[in-house]
Chain A
Amino acid sequence: MRPRVYMDANATTPLLPEVVEAMRPYWMERFGNASSIHLDGQQAHAAVDRARETMAGFFNCHAAEVVFNSGGTEGDNTALFGLLRPGDHCITTSIEHSAILQAAQRMAQNGVETTFVDPAPSGLIDPAEIERAIRPHTRLISVMLANNETGVLQPVEEIGKIAGAAGAFFHIDAVQGAGKVPFDVRRFGCHLCSISAHKMHGPKGVGALFVRRGTPIEPLLVGGSHERRRRAGTENVPGIVGLAKAAELAMLSLEDGTIPRLAALRDRLEKGILALPGTGVNGARQSAPEGRHENSPGQAQRSPGKDANNDLAPRRGAANSFVHHNLGAPAPDFGTWESANPIFNDCHPERPRAQRGGVEGPAVASSNGIPVPRVANTTNIWFDQLEGEALVIALDLKGVSVSGGSACHSGATEPSHVLMAMGLDRNRARASLRFSLLKTATEAEIDYVLQVVPQAVEHLRALSPAAAGTLG
């Protein structure tokens, strides 16, 4: 069997050998429950502590601000369910992962109104739009660091400042961005930040949520005092150890030339595919009219519940005795962050310099228009005159793993809400493929893919409905 080429890193990644090795002792030898008093428990507890220190270095925060959990979805759900109360207003974007979107929809039933800000056609969120959406009772702003489908990096630092000025909490879904770009929750100015191990060569089923000291988060899972009563449940020790190791390796990879090398491979792949007629990148250029569909008039499709006059408006009435008028509630006291405790003032001593840096990821090189910042490994490309699903399958049968512009939910495939929110024509959204490279990608793999993609595209385009139809 021909070895496969895996270009779906944004879906998941394999464990690195060092991660497997780091986890190994904790399955059968140091298997204790970290809450137990005896030596077995202590060993497990120590491993979790060490992992916590590593994660504190990764985030640039205090160890006590790290909460281990089951992954990005749990972190995202916790940020919304744990913070928002009836009567609150929440601002997020229409390109978030469904762990945020569906949590927001559910919160609507609890009297929380959410505004979903749309991106520009380039896939970038405009901080001014976030600012415009702020109301007196805005309690939480949630914006992703890097979009999983397009790889576009959002201006989280600016948004952090806006949140700070407005006295709102700020959550960043960093599931895709973590390990790909320099990371610093203090520079980002966020109170909450979700990450997931399996997107950065760690195991599935484990992640971490940064919870800034003083953030009043209600736990999602109760039943024990684990994670300082912020997340009950026996610690997944091997998973946590794996997460920490993955994070450590990710930080190193930001300094050792991996990122520029990956960007070069991705750029070569992208350029090669774009040489085919009738193709284009989703999420590339700012202020280019390209992203908007030429054929359909009017607005791009909006995500559900764009604003107040819809079914996400908070319910009024006697039953809602928990309506909480946030006007006049004290803003979170940001003053104590810097002043009182010197621990919070210093960068974690172990943090690699690159991790702290102020540079967003490498931008897209493009011949016209202002390039949009993007993670180094992702390109999302639309293909005219073919069915995206058929191309994904055709590539799969040739040994190449990529994903399409649709998400599969309970057997029904819908075009990507992200691409639709960017204003992409529905047919193009259904014919978009995401190529996301592993850090271990090679030139030979790019060569192979650049060989099979044009073949597959040509084959599919030759089967136009008139030619291929068999109806008499």
Chain B
Amino acid sequence: MTTPETIAVAMSGGVDSSTVAAMLAHGGDSVVGLTLQLWDQTRLAGKHGTPDAPGSPTTGLRRWGGEAPKAGRCCSLDDVYDARRVAEHLGIPYYVVNQQERFERDVVRPFVAEYLAGRTPIPCSLCNNHLKFDQLLQTARSIGAGRIATGHYAVNEYDPARGRWILKRPADLAKDQTYFLFGLTQAQLSRTLFPLGRLTKPEVREIARRHGLALAEKPDSQEICFIPGGDYKRFLAAYLEEQGEELPETAGELLSSGGQLLGRHDGIFNFTVGQRKGLGISSPTPLYVLNIDPASHRVTVGADEELATRDLRARRLNWIGIPELTGPMRVKIKIRHRHEAAWATLEPVSPASAGADEVLATFDQPQRAVTPGQSAVFYDGDEVVGGGWIA
């Protein structure tokens, strides 16, 4: 029986979300466990050299707690099994909800399109926006649960002074996932719980152990959930072939920053800004990808120093800490998940109408490898001010 106070916990079969389910269930809340089935792991398994899916007959059974398995990948059949067992242990109802079509449309396809356009995408942020928060909340409401809870390391709270929900960095900065959560709306934040926000990972594992969860020792999943082995190039090839589409021809020239022709390449999707390996050019000094031009297929490379830029533009913005940017603001900006936030001045770019849809960020110090397709997330101390996509 659900009530508006019922909480739907998004369960991935990992330690974090399992611990959240345990904490809430034992805390006396009415809890329902949900796993979003987003991608059929067997779909491209073994094609174009992609690894077999876990749980397929040739990979054998996973056992953990005993022998240490390889690092996991989220949401395989084994993970659904683990999530289900946790739900049963906690005595909560559990469902697997199929959202494969939406995931493919809103996450996978844009991912492919971004690479083919010479940008480096982050599917996890899109997934959060569209699936984990939008769809999951809809699903939760449809079964009568008023709120969701996830295992993200982040803190959200309501600030009555500003009349807004705010998002802050968690206690365990090494696990900080706020970079991927910049797109959350006020509506989403008001209905989401992040119970792990003030805990460290070791503390979370300890809580899991105390609740008798056998998966307390399960390794964290490190990869993009739909790309086995992390090899996105094989994924692109396998996916496009499956769709009956041709990998577009994007071979072209490799140029120096001075415009000198250094060689040719096979396709722009092989490169990302800041990349050093795989250029196919011999050079006395290391060369890095500076720029990828999707129109001309030209890839420009240069020395390390040339990778640094002073500014970036970000679009399709979402604001959390403030309703909108009306004038210049001093913030620290992360341009990658693994990047130390750097000071910058943020300014709206647009004719002076309300709600700039583009900002210009000028860093105090030049930043290395600003990459189109990644997100730029703006912080004010611990708080996420907002963020957008690097143009």
**B141, CB-defined interface residue at 8 Å:** yes
Which B residues, 142 to 201, have Cβ-Cβ distances below 8 Å to chain A?
142-144, 185-188, 191
Contacts of B129 in A (CB 8 A): 471
Q: Are B144 and A396 in contact (CB under 8 A)?
A: no
Closest 4 pairs between A and B when the two form their complex, measured CB to CB = A472-B185, A470-B187, A413-B98, A390-B142
Q: Select which of B1, B32, B37 is within 8 A of A412 by beta carbon.
A: B37
**A:448-472 near B, CB below 8 Å:** 459-460, 463, 465, 468-472
Q: Please, which residues of chain B bring their CB within 8 A of the CB of A329?
A: none
A471 to B32, CA, bound (A): 23
Q: How far is the CB of A396 from chain B (nearest CB, A)?
A: 7
Smallest CB gap from B129: residue in A: A471
Give per-residue flags for B194-230: 1 if the beta carbon is below 8 A from chain A beta carbons, else 0: 0000000000000000000000000000000000000
Given contact pairs A397-B32, A412-B100, a sample of 17 additional A-B residue pairs in the complex whose CB atoms are under 8 Å apart: A2-B1, A386-B142, A390-B97, A390-B142, A394-B144, A396-B93, A397-B93, A399-B1, A406-B98, A411-B41, A411-B96, A412-B98, A413-B98, A463-B142, A469-B134, A470-B137, A471-B129
Nearest-neighbor residue (CB-CB) of B319 within chain A: A472
Contact assessment for A390 and B139 in the assembled complex, using a CB-CB cutoff below 8 Å: yes
B-side residues, CB < 8 A to A, are: 1-2, 32, 37, 40-42, 77, 80, 93, 95-98, 100, 129-130, 133-134, 137-139, 141-144, 185-188, 191, 318
Mask, A12-50, CB within 8 Å of B = 1, is: 000000000000000000000000000000000000000
Tell me the nearest residue of chain B to A472, going by C-beta: B185
Q: Is the CB of B77 within 8 A of A471?
A: no
Chain A residue with minimal CB distance to B139?
A390
Find out whether the CB atom of A470 lies under 8 angstroms from the CB atom of B95: no
A465 to B142, CA, bound (A): 11
Q: How far, in angstroms, from A412 to B96 measured CA to CA in the complex?
A: 10
Q: Does A384 contact B (CB under 8 A)?
A: no
Q: Which of A372-394 contact B (CB under 8 A)?
A: 386-387, 389-390, 393-394
Neighbouring A residues of B134 by C-beta, 8 Å: 469-471
If A394-B142, A396-B93, A460-B142 touch, does A471 touch B37 (CB 8 Å cutoff)?
Answer: no
**A398 sits at the interface (CB 8 A):** yes
- Choose one: B41, B143, B188; the contact of A470 (CB below 8 Å): B188
Determine the chain A residues whose CB is within 8 A of the CB of B139 once the complex forms: 390
Closest to A386 in B: B142
Q: Is the CB of A397 within 8 A of B143?
A: yes
Whether a CB of chain B sits under 8 angstroms from the CB of A310 is no
A459 and B138 form a contact (CB under 8 A) = no
The answer, yes or no, to whether A410 is at the interface (CB within 8 Å) is yes
How far is A383 from B139 in the complex, measured between Cα atoms in Å? Answer: 17
Q: Are B97 and A398 touching (Cβ within 8 A)?
A: no
Q: Does A471 contact B142, Cβ atoms closer than 8 Å?
A: no
Cβ 8 A contact of B77, one of A390, A410, A463: A410
A-side contacts of B191, CB under 8 Å: 470
* Contact between B1 and A398, CB atoms less than 8 A apart: yes
Give complex CA distance A188, B144 in Å: 49
Chain B residues with CB below 8 A from A412, complex form:
37, 40, 98, 100
